[in-house]
Amino acid sequence: MTAFEEDFQRLRKLYASLGVTKGRTVFLTGNAGRVIRYRSRAREDVLRAHLSAIQDLLGPEGTILSPAASMNLCNTDIPFDPVETPSHEMGALAEYIRIQEGCVRSFHPFWSVSGLGPSAPVFLNDVSRHAYGWGSPWQRMAEHDVLQVNVGLHPSRAVTLIHHIEVVSGVPYRYTKEFNHPVVRNGNTSREDFYMNVMYRDADIERRHVLNEHFFENLSKHGTFNSFGEDRECAWSFSMTEFFKLTTKMLERNIYAYLERPPSNRPYRN
């Protein structure tokens, strides 16, 4: 057995233990280099082993989604091209998925998602001009019970869905900002308006440091939070629908639940 084949089998076992099954849609994020000790040292082999293992488990009916954000374009005049613009700081695995033949990418200059599989267009085509909220990929993933899988990076540090939840819950410390940004459509470049929720700059906001204690503990109690491995060689999975339901309930009870404390300086208050 080659080094690639051994890595593939170990990764296949890992992803199967996290609930990656035939026909499912998976949102994959994290740091691929921190999941197992790889026999193959070639970066291309490692990334290919990850993607191959997941696709083998999903089968031809399954779909894999991955972050393709390019927040580095924000407040610049660099055009967003859904085909050519690389993802930024999303990890090597996310970028590897984005460049695969047949990959679909949602159209937003700062927060896009890429996907491979027959259901990718359902989640990523004709999306809202808002990064989050109604009509965004996050709303569709939450509605369709997508399985989020985090590799090598705990979900408390990589769960963009929380920002969609902040939007739909109407947290007062964020507001919708309009961005007029150049984009490439059908080979033509033009400026278009897009929207994204941002935090008030003058508010003394401190995000909660121990997000897993308050949010993912609830998922564990409901049996929808899975983990694999220990210490650095870890991976996790959870139902995005259940996370949405439980977290919106928490914000209903306490609109500042995502913060360490309610801000003392609130520029949004009369």
Instruction: Say how many residues make up the chain.
Output: 270
What mean pLDDT, rounded, does the chain reach?
A: 91
- Separation between Cα atoms, residue 68 and residue 90, nearest integer Å: 7
Residue 219 has pLDDT above 80, yes or no: no
Sheet holding 113-116, edge to edge: 104-105, 113-116, 63-67, 25-30, 147-151, 233-239, 225-230
- Separation between Cα atoms, residue 16 and residue 28, nearest integer Å: 14
What's the pTM value of the predicted model, to 2 decimals?
A: 0.93
pLDDT at 127: 97
The three-point CA angle 66-71-77 to 5° equals 130
pLDDT at 113: 98
- Separation between Cα atoms, residue 184 and residue 136, nearest integer Å: 19
- Separation between Cα atoms, residue 148 and residue 66, nearest integer Å: 10
Collapsed DSSP state (helix, strand, coil) of residue 99: coil
Count CB-CB contacts under 10 A for residue 52.
15
**What is the chain's percent helix, strand, coil content, to nearest 5?**
35, 25, 40
Q: Work out the burial of residue 252: count CB atoms within 10 Å of its CB; fewer than 13 is exposed, 13-18 middle, 19 or more buried.
A: exposed
Q: Are 116 and 97 in contact (CB under 8 A)?
A: yes
pLDDT per residue as tens digits for the range 116-157: 999 999 999 999 999 999 999 999 999 999 999 999 888 878
pLDDT per residue as tens digits for the range 27-66: 999 888 777 778 877 888 889 999 999 999 999 999 999 9
Q: Work out the burial of residue 98: count CB atoms within 10 Å of its CB; fewer than 13 is exposed, 13-18 middle, 19 or more buried.
A: buried
pLDDT per residue as tens digits for the range 170-217: 999 999 999 999 999 999 999 999 999 999 988 888 876 555 556 777
More confident of the two residues 145 and 231: 145
The region that residue 135 occupies, defined by phi over 0 for left and psi between -120 and 50 for alpha, beta otherwise, is left
